[in-house]
Amino acid sequence: MGVKTREGDLSHLNDVDYLVSRSKELRVKDPDRSKSWMLTAQMMFPKNFAIQYEAYQVEKTAGNAMEAGKFLKHLFEHFHGSDGPSEAVLLEEIHQLVTGLQNQEATRDEPDILGRIFEQLPTDTRKKILLESASKANDTLTYAKQFMLAFTRFPELIPSYGSNFLSVVVSKCPTKSVSVDPLLELLVKEACPQLLGVTQLKIEVSMLDDILYHTIDYLSHQVLAARNQLKDGASTNSPSDIWVIVFGFLEEIGQRMGWSLTEDLNEVLPEVLWQRVHSFSQQNVAKQDSEAQNQLFFLATILFLRSLSEFATDSWEQTLEPAILVEAFIAHQSEETKPKNHPKRRRTTEDERRFPLVTHGDRHLSNGEHPSVMVASFLRAYRYYDLIHSEPGLNAMFQQLRGITQTLASFCVDVAQYQGRFRDALSILRSQPTPHIPAKICRNHVKLATIQFSLGEYHATADHLIEAVANLPPVISENEKPNLPAILIGSALKQPSAVKTRHVHFLPFTRHHILAYCARILIYILKDRALQPTSPNNDITLGHVLVLLQYIFPEEKDLMLMMVHKIKQKDAFSYPLFSSYIVQIELLEEFAHLLGDPTCKVALDLSPSGGLQSGNQSQRRVGTRGANRGEKEEVRTAIVKQVAKSQEPLDELLISFLEENHDSILECLQFLSSPIQMEHMEQTRIVCQLIRDGSWVIVLGRSTL
Amino acid sequence: MSMSLEHRSSLRKLPFPACTNEALKRLQNQCLTFAHKQPSPKEIEVVLEVINEFVFNAGSGKSDKRSTPQTILELQMLQVLLDYFKDPDIDPTVLCTVFVFLFMDPSKTEVMAKLVSLAMSIPTESVLKCTGVWMVQQGFTSERCMDLAHILVDEYILVIPDHVNTLKNLARLCPIFTSNLMTAITDMYPTLDKPPPKKILELFVAWMNVSSCIPFTAANKAINGSLPPSSAGSQSNSGTFTSLIGMARWNILAPLLDDPSNDAIYARLQLALLESFIEVQSIRSEYKPDVVAVKKVVALIQSLEMAMKSCENVQPEAKQESLDRLGQFLQAVSFSQCLSGRIAEIITTLKKLPSNRLIQMYVVNLAKV
């Protein structure tokens, strides 16, 4: 009776379903009998997809990779390519399998059951499955990834399928993308290194050109990305790796093109590469040979981008923002101080005069330290940039490049600054989007300040410097040394040179360095006013310069003494900020000397009340002018009080001074003394350079003119 | 040059086991000449006498060795034989001839079984191969062959511990011996009255898992081509002798037994059997076309019919299970194109069985072809 019930249950089924049901009902309870039914079904209906697929699924579920592999091979060979539902089921299975393989490749995990089934298949079937899956991919990225999977596992497929694959990927790579496109990344990082070295693979020259343009596009993104990666501190893929990869396949392209510049790219030192490119350009510049020009263009551009990328990496220095290229100072070296009978010194060349000295960080060239890596990478990038821009043909090609402007903006500002094209630098900088993050705002103001300074726009210079300090992030760098002697910080801003007329400096983006730079520039632009007794706010300006000089003491000690001397010659001197900001012990001593000096007739008013505004209104309070001994004592007491503050940190003092006296400082620069004010801007620059070149005597002489 | 077999006096001067070794060497040389001309009855007689004296009874007659027990002597003799057969420099065909002469006397079956047991446990491929060839020459249903199988099963396979792990690799090491032994063993347990012991079923499953095609060895073209020419003559009696029908009979009759304890192992053996047909189908050209004779299938169906009649009290499910297994087996035989004979006879015989859907499907399909 039991049989009848069971048969009754299944009697409505057709033969195929009957056999599959018999197998299914036993699957858990009695796997061996279940499998016997499955085998019977397969033998009875060898051309039935449902049964064969079911058999495959049973083995797959049971984890029998070898058995399942046999079934999958059978399925793929007998049912693939037909129309109808079986094809879709089969393609889905293949899709799952290939996706699994991709993940496995990426994660280096142990293969899952599908992966193990795949390994059981004969080589020929494996190849067919990978190619089939790739060619059925819905999007180009999947297409490319799956083809790369096939090429990685079976490099022998490359000669037959590589050419078509490259043309599809190259044509689908986006020509304009804001971020790095994954397809572009795959082309450059995986496809090119793997395919271009296969000599049996034929590739058209135009295709190679396209690949090079895409590579340049990718690399210019990479320069930006390298910065961001560094900033995030999560650099998964060392930026230098990409250059090894790119140089690797660039050699292959060079071989295919018959180029000479691409030999042994990964072995040759950057300096030697530059020599190679440079002499190649000199040999070929006049020839109008478009093939040579192409070669030069691609190589120079890619090498330029590498130098730029190294520069970007080097300039970051674990700070929030990269080092800033600023205008710095030259200390004039007179003939006497120069070493005599210097054997190598010939006539100074034009180039040596034309281009500024470049330094970085706290390095002093005179100390015989090695030139900074950052300076070297900057200069290398500059040379390639200059080479490209000085050849009209190359320049025209370079301008055609997509997406390179964004990469170059910041570098172009530096180049213009380096070349002394300050107006250009300013206009590029102003064309950039306004930053919103404090660190970037701060950096932008320093940059604007240094360019305005070079242009002689001192009012704007001071304004930007004070804004920069106002936006100074509280913690900038992990390696900021909190109690570094101020004398060390920023002293490299002034370098001795007998030849150079200018000095540009990569200022590390730390609080100390920025403050040190601000102080020096403000001293520089205020001291003229301070030393002109006729200028309206002379006392205030003098006082401000003294406050600033404390920060860099004992640098410019002579200037400080000269300022004190200037006060001594005055009838009266009023600086209401004295008790707030003058704390430096030696300066306080100088003031004490003034009081004690019988030849000194100056009446000092150093009391805080009345403030700056009233001070400007010449509504002075009684100080030491014609004063009795009691009033003098009061000033002396005030000075002694200040001595107690002399140990306070100068950083905070400088910041609060700049922030609270923003308007006052700008006012000091408002009324330029007539000779300079009248002069044309270009003339101002010449004067400025003269001043920077010369000693203080020259400055004094200039101001008394 | 070695002395001929006639000079027995020179052999008698040698102590045991040197005399046995020397006798085997001379026997081997004699067999080489038999490759070119048929041995005369007289020559055979001499050979057998020498074997008797210097192999099987060596040492027993020596007065100074009286103290040595007979069993120890026999063990030493078996060791000498085993070492002799291990010599890789001797031509396998000659070895087979030596083996045939050694055990030509029917009284030697028991000592042969001891040698084969030793060769199965150590394992010694050359001895097993010679045994396999010998079994073919004797014929599987011959009394001596059955005797050998009985002794191997009862006194060795069923007795030793962990028999599966000890013996399963024989299927790979020496397929011709293993498959011939399987055939002989299936003949030992032909009916419901005497089902095979569980240990035998386990061993069969293990052998088929190690080498799926093992029951088809006798039909393998390459293996048969490589057999010594002396065995070729007796190949062509009636179709191919395999264990396939025998195993199928076990599986099909098993549900009718009043003993469910071996159900799982029968199910596994049935699966292994179906898998072996599928495996053979995928490399069909390596095997002879006529593997399973229709008349044997007919006999199988008839034995099921008889068994069902004799077990009226068996549950209908059990009968259906028997019929399902028969249907599965028939489908496997047809699928792998192993049948030889008039297929219509099968259909006629099947009609006498109780109704079963799978068998109906099989018949319908068969009619289409």
- A674 — pLDDT class (breaks 50, 70, 90): very low
How high is the pLDDT of residue A640?
A: 84
Q: What is the pLDDT of residues A317-366, one digit of tens each?
A: 677 788 889 998 887 665 545 555 554 545 556 666 778 888 887 766 55
CB contact under 8 A, B267 and A2: no
Choose the weakest-confidence range: A654-663, B52-61, B283-292. Answer: B52-61
Closest partner residue to A44 (CB to CB) among B275, B277, B361 is B361
CB contact under 8 A, A37 and B328: yes
Chain B residue with minimal CA distance to A13?
Answer: B357
The SS3 of residue A583 is coil
Closest chain A C-alpha to B295 CA, distance in angstroms: 22
Preferred mutation among B322, B335, B363, B364 to probe A, highest tally of A CBs within 10 A? B335
CB contact under 8 A, B357 and A44: no
Instruction: Examine the pLDDT at A679 and tell me if it is beyond 70.
Output: no
The Cα–Cα gap between B129 and B125 comes to: 6
How high is the pLDDT of residue A3?
A: 42
- B52 — pLDDT class (breaks 50, 70, 90): confident
The Cα–Cα gap between B274 and B268 comes to: 10
pTM beyond 0.90: the answer is no
What DSSP letter does each residue of B333-360 carry, written as one string?
HHHTT-EES-HHHHHHHHTTSPP-HHHH
A640 touches B: beta carbon within 8 Å: no
The pLDDT mean for chain A works out to: 80
Asked if B127 and B82 touch (Cβ cutoff 8 Å), the reply is yes
Report for A8-17, A432-441, A518-527, B262-271: range of highest mean pLDDT: B262-271
Choose the weakest-confidence range: A8-12, A128-132, A556-560. Answer: A8-12
Q: What is the pLDDT of residues A456-472, one digit of tens each?
A: 888 899 999 999 999 88
Closest chain A C-alpha to B272 CA, distance in angstroms: 9
The Cα–Cα gap between A420 and A503 comes to: 11
Instruction: Examine the pLDDT at B364 and tell me if it is beyond 50.
Output: yes
The Cα–Cα gap between A323 and A443 comes to: 9
Closest chain B C-alpha to A31 CA, distance in angstroms: 9
Taking residues B251-268, report their average pLDDT. 92
CB contact under 8 A, A36 and B271: yes
The Cα–Cα gap between A509 and A493 comes to: 14
How high is the pLDDT of residue A484?
A: 55
Closest partner residue to B267 (CB to CB) among A15, A32, A44 is A32
Closest chain A C-alpha to B331 CA, distance in angstroms: 7
Asked if B43 and B33 touch (Cβ cutoff 8 Å), the reply is no
How high is the pLDDT of residue A572?
A: 81
CB contact under 8 A, B315 and A46: no
Chain B residues in contact with A3 by the CB 8 A cut-off are 316-317, 320
How high is the pLDDT of residue A629?
A: 59
A30 touches B: beta carbon within 8 Å: yes
A634-653 in b/e burial notation, b at 16+ Cβ within 10 A?
bbbebbeebeebeeeebbeb
A32 touches B: beta carbon within 8 Å: yes
Chain B residue with minimal CA distance to A7?
Answer: B357
A18 touches B: beta carbon within 8 Å: yes
How high is the pLDDT of residue A687?
A: 39
Chain B residues in contact with A15 by the CB 8 A cut-off are 361
B328 touches A: beta carbon within 8 Å: yes
Closest partner residue to A43 (CB to CB) among B315, B325, B332 is B332
- For residues B72 and A66, the model is more confident at A66
CB contact under 8 A, A44 and B328: no
A2 touches B: beta carbon within 8 Å: yes
How high is the pLDDT of residue A553?
A: 81
How high is the pLDDT of residue A112?
A: 85
Taking residues A605-610, report their average pLDDT. 69
Report the 10 Å Cβ neighbour count for A682: 10
Closest chain B C-alpha to A295 CA, distance in angstroms: 59
Chain A residues in contact with B332 by the CB 8 A cut-off are 39-40, 43
How high is the pLDDT of residue A481?
A: 55
Choose the weakest-confidence range: A257-261, A530-534, A682-686. Answer: A682-686
How high is the pLDDT of residue B21?
A: 79
Amino acid at A258: G
CB contact under 8 A, A36 and B358: no
The pLDDT mean for chain B works out to: 85
How high is the pLDDT of residue A135?
A: 87
Chain A residues in contact with B279 by the CB 8 A cut-off are none
Asked if A403 and A177 touch (Cβ cutoff 8 Å), the reply is yes
List the one residue out of B24, B17, B169 whose CA is nearest residue B97.
Answer: B24
Closest partner residue to B357 (CB to CB) among A18, A32, A36 is A18
How high is the pLDDT of residue A232?
A: 54
Instruction: Examine the pLDDT at A141 and tell me if it is beyond 70.
Output: yes
- B233 — pLDDT class (breaks 50, 70, 90): very low
Chain B residue with minimal CA distance to A44?
Answer: B331
- B67 — pLDDT class (breaks 50, 70, 90): low
Instruction: Examine the pLDDT at A623 and tell me if it is beyond 60.
Output: no
Taking residues A470-476, report their average pLDDT. 78
- Of chain B residues 338-357, which have a CB less than 8 A from chain A? 357
- A698 — pLDDT class (breaks 50, 70, 90): very low
Taking residues B50-60, report their average pLDDT. 71
Place of tokens 């054997």: A343
CB contact under 8 A, B270 and A40: no
Q: What is the pLDDT of residues A272-287, one digit of tens each?
A: 999 999 999 888 877 7
Report for A394-403, A680-689, B348-357: range of highest mean pLDDT: B348-357
How high is the pLDDT of residue A251?
A: 93
Instruction: Examine the pLDDT at B119 and tell me if it is beyond 80.
Output: yes
Task: Enter the DSSP assignment of B105.
Answer: S
- Its ipTM equals 0.90
Residues 6+ apart with CB under 8 A from A694: A332
Structure tokens at A284: 């070929």
Preferred mutation among B358, B363, B364 to probe A, highest tally of A CBs within 10 A? B358
CB contact under 8 A, A44 and B316: no
CB contact under 8 A, B332 and A2: no
CB contact under 8 A, A32 and B358: no
Closest chain B C-alpha to A48 CA, distance in angstroms: 14
Closest chain B C-alpha to A83 CA, distance in angstroms: 26
B270 touches A: beta carbon within 8 Å: yes
How high is the pLDDT of residue B91?
A: 83
B284 touches A: beta carbon within 8 Å: no
Q: What is the pLDDT of residues A542-597, one digit of tens each?
A: 889 999 988 888 788 888 888 888 888 888 888 888 888 888 888 888 888 887 77
How high is the pLDDT of residue B352?
A: 93
Q: pLDDT above 90 covers what percent of chain A?
A: 26
How high is the pLDDT of residue B334?
A: 94
How high is the pLDDT of residue B188?
A: 92
How high is the pLDDT of residue B122?
A: 87
Q: How many CB pairs under 8 A join A and B?
A: 60
Q: What is the pLDDT of residues A385-437, one digit of tens each?
A: 999 998 888 888 888 886 677 778 889 999 999 999 999 999 999 988 888 88
- Whole-number Cα distances in Å, A455 to A461, B40, B303: 9, 127, 115
CB contact under 8 A, B274 and A3: no
Q: What is the pLDDT of residues B237-247, one digit of tens each?
A: 446 789 999 99
- B280 — pLDDT class (breaks 50, 70, 90): very high
Chain A residue with minimal CA distance to B273?
Answer: A36
The SS3 of residue A505 is strand
A40 touches B: beta carbon within 8 Å: yes
Work out whether the CA dihedral A680, A683, A685, A690 comes out positive or negative: negative
Closest partner residue to B316 (CB to CB) among A2, A19, A42 is A2
Q: What is the CA radius of gyration of chain A?
A: 38
- B65 — pLDDT class (breaks 50, 70, 90): low
Closest chain B C-alpha to A23 CA, distance in angstroms: 12
Structure tokens at A612: 């700056």
B331 touches A: beta carbon within 8 Å: yes
Choose the weakest-confidence range: A398-407, A433-442, B5-14, B308-317. Answer: B5-14
List the one residue out of B95, B180, B98 whose CA is nearest residue B132.
Answer: B180
Place of tokens 């609080």: A511
How high is the pLDDT of residue A697?
A: 26
Place of tokens 């068969």: B366
Place of tokens 């804001």: A178
CB contact under 8 A, A7 and B357: yes
Preferred mutation among A19, A36, A51 to probe B, highest tally of B CBs within 10 A? A36
Asked if A173 and A181 touch (Cβ cutoff 8 Å), the reply is yes
